[in-house]
Amino acid sequence: MKGILLVNLGSPKSTAVNDVKEYLDEFLMDERVIDYRWIFRALLVRGIILKTRPANSAEAYKTVWTDEGSPLIVITEKIQKKLQKLVDVPVEIGMRYAEPSIETGIRKLTEKGVSEIVLFPLYPQYAMSTTETVIEKAEEVRKAKFPNVKINYIQPFYDRDIYINCLAESIKEKLPENFDALQFSYHGVPERHIYKTDPTKTCNLNDCCSRESNPSHKFCYRHQCFTTTNLVIEKLNLPKEKTIVSFQSRLGKDKWIEPYTDETLETIPKKGVKNLAIVCPAFVSDCLETLEEISVEGKEQFLHGGGENFHYIPCLNDEDRWIEVVKTLCEEKLNEFYLV
Work out whether strand 243-248 and strand 116-121 pair parallel, antiparallel, or are unpaired.
unpaired
Among 6, 7, 45, 72, binds ligand L6N33NVT (CB under 6 A): 72
Nearer to ligand L6N33NVT, 128 or 323 (CB): 128
146 binds, among ligand L6N33NVT, Fe ion, none (CB under 5 to 8 A by kind): none
129 binds ligand L6N33NVT (CB under 6 A): yes
Burial environment of residue 326 by CB neighbours within 10 A (0 to 12, 13 to 18, 19 or more): buried
Closest to 176 measured CA to CA, from 317, 322, 308: 308
Residue 223 partner contact from Fe ion, ligand L6N33NVT, none using kind-dependent CB cut-offs of 5 to 8 Å: Fe ion
Q: How many residues does the chain have?
A: 340
In DSSP notation, 145-205 reads: H-TT-EEEEPPP-TT-HHHHHHHHHHHHHH--S--SEEEEEEEP-BHHHHHHH-TTS---S
- Residue 280 contacts which entry, Fe ion, ligand L6N33NVT, none (Cβ below 5-8 A, type-dependent): none
Query: Using the rule CB under 6 A, which residue among 15, 57, 264, 317 binds ligand L6N33NVT?
Result: 57
Query: Whose CA is closest to 106, among 148, 68, 57, 159?
Result: 148
The binder of 65, among ligand L6N33NVT, Fe ion, none, by C-beta within 5 to 8 A per type, is none
Residue 187 pairs in a beta bridge with 248
9 or 164: CB nearest ligand L6N33NVT = 9
C-beta of 225: minimal distance to Fe ion in Å?
A: 10
Residue 82 contact, options Fe ion, ligand L6N33NVT, none, Cβ 5-8 Å cut-off depending on partner type = none
Query: Does residue 130 interact with ligand L6N33NVT by CB under 6 A?
Result: yes
How many CB atoms lie under 10 A from the CB of residue 43? 12
Instruction: Please give the C-alpha separations between residue 146 and each of 5, 103, 108, 109, in angstroms, as whole numbers.
Output: 14, 9, 12, 11
- Can residue 261 be called a binding residue for ligand L6N33NVT (CB under 6 A)? no
Using the rule CB under 6 A, give the single segment among 104-112, 132-140, 185-193, 297-305 that binds ligand L6N33NVT. 185-193
In one-letter notation, the amino acid at residue 96 is: R
126 belongs to the binding site for ligand L6N33NVT (CB under 6 A): no
Three-state DSSP at 32 gives coil
Strands 150-153 and 91-95: unpaired
Site string for ligand L6N33NVT, 7-36 (x = CB under 6 A): --x-x------------x--------xx--
CA 103 to mean position of chain CA atoms: 20
Instruction: Answer yes or no whether residue 187 interacts with ligand L6N33NVT by CB under 6 A.
Output: yes
Query: Is the Cβ of residue 90 or residue 156 nearer to ligand L6N33NVT in the bound state?
Result: 156
Residue 220 interacts with Fe ion (CB under 5 A): yes or no: yes
Residue 289, annotated as binding a ligand: yes
